[in-house]
Amino acid sequence: MSRLTLLLIIVTCLSISVLANITTETQWRYFKLTYRKLYSKVEDRYRFAVFQRNLLLAQKYQAANPNAKFGVTQFSDLTPAEFKARYLGLRIRTNTSEKSNYYKPKITDIPAAWDWKEKGAVTSVKNQGNCGSCWAFSAIQNIEGLNFLKNRPLVDLSEQQLVDCDQIDQGCNGGEMQIAFQWLADHGGVASQEDYPYKGYGQTCKFSASMAKVQVTGYLNISTDETEIAKSLIEIGPLSIGVVADPWQFYIEGIMGPTLCDGELDHGVLLVGYGHGKGIISEADFWLIKNSWGGGWGEYGYIRLERGYNACGMNKDVSTATIA
């Protein structure tokens, strides 16, 4: 095992209560080595001060959410404002009360657990990089699941196409999943990741209709009721959702509750399942959510939110594309 791998295990597996017994300076050195952070002397002093404040903020989240673990992550050198600006790119334009075109699930009963990842409908964890393109990842990964269930096989599709070409949304400066779905429906569909790879910054649009691998026909909104969301998840496939993700900056593992996770929706992710399982201190019902910050964040790129409490606003903006 390399020194870098060992340091990664140390940083990501120790809780705040354990790290409190290590000096802040030592934690800072671990952090920089683990995440390969390089700063000038002036920048190092500033980022260390940010890191110290973030340790205290993570302790606050930990106290409020004991069934999850919060601590040092790859984002621990960013102020909350920087984190929000760079990684939380959901920009809701439509008032929830004004939304229409809702999907009506047909099933009456749901199983105790469901996981589209285990059923082969979810691509590997992706990384949006230093770009507020979460909305594009949420939208595209919903379409990937729909395409797998309808047409087979599972194909990685292009988030970069939306970043570059969707002029209604704002690329790395944010967007909304429903707008992205409708844009794709109006402009010839979506290309594959292979044909239009992700770069993590805006470029001149390179899409032509001949590149389309999936034809999008529109979108549907989903109920705000969590039971109805579960029914829709089972009937449709993985769903695009908006969440309040500010505390996710320091999430490591476990089942996160609704405490300290309110405010305006600011991040687009993919709802892939639900179940009942062990958190840090107890078992709880949870939603399983795929993020787009790489496999090194959270539970191998995923987070579990406590189910039944509208945690992090996960019920407020749920939608799906429709495809041919």
Does residue 238 sit in the same domain as residue 300?
yes
Residue 276 falls in the annotated catalytic set: no
Does residue 65 sit in the same domain as residue 162?
no
Instruction: State mean pLDDT over 11-24.
Output: 57
> Which residue among the candidates 134, 165, 172, 312 is catalytic per the annotation?
134
Does residue 8 sit in the same domain as residue 153?
no
DSSP codes joined into one string, 168-212: SS-GGG-B-HHHHHHHHHHTT-EEBTTTS---SS-------GGGE
Does residue 134 sit in the same domain as residue 233?
yes
Cα separations (Å) of 18 from 189, 249, 282? 50, 19, 19
The candidate with the shortest Cα–Cα distance to 29, out of 50, 2, 11, is: 11
Based on the structure, what is the number of domains in the chain? Answer: 2
For residue 265, pLDDT beyond 70: yes
- Domain residue limits at 200: 85-323
Residue 315 falls in the annotated catalytic set: no
Report the C-alpha gap between 31 and 20 in whole angstroms: 14
Structure-token pair, residue 118:
């285990």
> Which residue among the candidates 65, 67, 221, 291 is catalytic per the annotation?
291
Confidence category of residue 97, pLDDT binned at 50, 70, 90: low
Of 19-33, 211-225, 234-248, the range with the lowest mean pLDDT is 19-33
Which of 35, 57, 76 is the last residue in one of the domains? 76
Does residue 94 sit in the same domain as residue 190?
yes
> Which residue among the candidates 147, 267, 312, 315 is catalytic per the annotation?
267
For residue 4, pLDDT beyond 70: no
For residue 6, pLDDT beyond 80: no
Report the C-alpha gap between 190 and 145 in whole angstroms: 13
Instruction: State mean pLDDT over 108-125.
Output: 98
For residue 194, pLDDT beyond 80: yes
For residue 262, pLDDT beyond 90: no
Does residue 71 sit in the same domain as residue 109?
no
Residue 291 falls in the annotated catalytic set: yes
Does residue 192 sit in the same domain as residue 267?
yes
CATH number at residue 92: 3.90.70.10
| Residue showing tokens 């649009």 | 205
Does residue 68 sit in the same domain as residue 129?
no
